[in-house]
Amino acid sequence: MTFDWSVIWSNCGLLLRGAELTILLAVITMLISIPGGLLLVTLRLSSIGILRIFATGFVECFRATPLILQIYWVFYVLPATFGIGLSDFATGILALSMNVSSFNSETFRAGILSIRKGQTNAGLALGMSRLQIMRYIVLPQATMRVLPALASTWVSLFKDTSLVSTIAVAELSFVALKLRAETYRIMEVLTAMAALYWAMGYPQAKIVEWLHRRFRIIE
């Protein structure tokens, strides 16, 4: 077997643009999914039954089905059934955001419920409203407890962005697989793709390890 790495050097810019889009997908999705998760957990903890049922059904649906199915559903069903046409990029963002929001909501819910009720009762005894208790007592502590879990979700999201290549979003996986099909240099292209994912993902994994060590006392 002979290797021809010139195909990588000559298409380096194309691969790097795909990597940039991968990062952009992950960043935009997480920026949407953090408030999305907070909204869902607020609805799940609501005293209004219909809101709890809706939020619980939404979360469990997206947690219990494959992400690839969710991407296909948004890509094919929304236009065909509801007449909602989105670009490939927007479709990928929407599907990823709904999926990650569901997981984030469970992370936030676990963090909030981990705070002892005695602290809430103490806040009420001091004359604080429930909104003030949530803002000044519960959320600051819960945020510190869920940071490692959120970081782990970020790393998983970063890798899951490769699934939107199935709907022709030109991120790293799509670009690399297209280049492989055009050049027939399977070993070189897939190795380059793996190297780029590793170069981007390894520092993130080390940050997650640091967060787990840093906050393990209060987990």
Determine the pLDDT at residue 219. Answer: 42
CATH class held by domain 6-218 = mainly alpha
**What pTM, to 2 d.p., does this model score?**
0.86
Can you give the residue ranges of every domain in the chain? 6-218
**For residue range 79-104, what is the model confidence (pLDDT) as tens digits?**
888 888 889 999 999 999 999 999 99
DSSP state of 115: S
Segments in the chain below pLDDT 70: 1, 215-219
As given in the structure block, the two tokens for residue 163 are 């699934």
